[in-house]
Amino acid sequence: MRSVQTATDNVVPFRRPGRGQAQPQPPAVSPSLAARRVDQRALMDAVYASGTLAVAAGDRETKLIAARLQVYGFLSIEELAGDGDLRRLRPSEAIRARVDRPWRLSKSAYGSGLPVTIPAADDFLFDTVGGVPASL
C-alpha cells in the first residue's frame, strides 16, 4: 500500500459543518426563471396526463413554452393546416411558427424518428435477435 502525501494531494476531505458554522445557501433563482420553470412543468404535466393538448392559434406564450420543451425532446408539435391535415413541426420551425394556425401537442415518442441516422459501418451494433439487441 502506498503512503499518502498530503503536501501534493489535491483531494479535499469531506467535512460536515460544525454546529457554529453557517450552512451554505443554494444559489438564488430569479423570479422570472422560477415562473418559467413552473409554466413549463405545468404544460408538460398537462400533455402527459391527457396524451394530447390543443393549443389555440393565437396563444403565443404557450407555443413558446411548447417549442422550448420540443427542443429538449419532451413534446412533439403538430400544426393543423387549413384543410385539417396535421404536419409535424421540427424544433426550428416551431420557434418561428405562425400564430394563425393551431397546434396539437403530444408526448414525445422516445427512440422513434431519431434525427441522427446510424451509419452503415455501425449498423451491426443494432442488429436484433428476437426483438432484443444482439450482444457482441
User: In angstroms, rounded to a whole number, what is the distance separating the alpha carbons of residues 16 and 13?
Assistant: 10
Q: Is the pTM of this model over 0.75?
A: no
So what's the pLDDT on residue 78?
A: 93
Long-range pairs for 68-74 at CB < 8 Å and ≥24 separation? Answer: 68/40, 69/40, 69/43, 69/44, 70/94, 70/108, 71/95, 73/108, 73/110, 74/44, 74/107, 74/108
Q: What is the chain's pLDDT, residue by residue, as a tens digit (136 residues)?
A: 455 555 556 666 666 666 666 666 666 778 888 888 889 999 999 999 999 999 998 898 999 999 989 988 889 999 998 888 999 998 888 887 777 889 999 998 764 444 545 555 555 555 555 555 444 4
So what's the pLDDT on residue 37?
A: 85
